[in-house]
Amino acid sequence: MGIQESGENYLETILILKKKKGQVRSIDIANEMGISKPSVSFAMKKLRERGYIKMNNKGYITFTEKGQKTAEEIYEKHNLLTKYLKALGVSEEVAIEDACKIEHYISDESLSKIREDYKRIEETK
């Protein structure tokens, strides 16, 4: 079973927080995403059941191999799409917001073509 958009957002947020802080707990995710702790706890339970994360007895969240791979793929998509939109002249704020929407629905084929085109854009700078 695939992961829903909200699950992808949680995984990406966990990855970003891990890069910033080293360790992540549910309260960190709630604060970062601006949502309630019970909502985050429910989501973490689902991600744990689906094999994306683990949580120790102190509440610290770590990725499983599957979770790490998925989070990195989502993060890479987001970064590529943001950079690509900015290269097209979209403002940074809108590029970040739109990339977040697009990253959940874009096909591998379209992403591959965007990656190729972005490389071409970078080479001509």
Q: Which domains does the chain have, with CATH numbers?
A: 5-69 (1.10.10.10), 73-123 (1.10.60.10)
Return the pLDDT at 12: 95
- For residue 2, the model assigns a pLDDT of 59
Selection from 68, 74, 89, 88 nearest residue 24 by Cα: 68
What integer pLDDT is reported at residue 116 of this predicted model?
A: 95
Residue among 100, 93, 94, 99 nearest 114 (CA): 99
pLDDT for position 1: 41
Check residue 86 and give its pLDDT: 96
Q: What is the pLDDT of residue 5?
A: 80
- What average pLDDT values come out for the chain (125 residues) when binned by 10 residues? 79 96 95 95 96 96 96 94 96 95 92 95 87
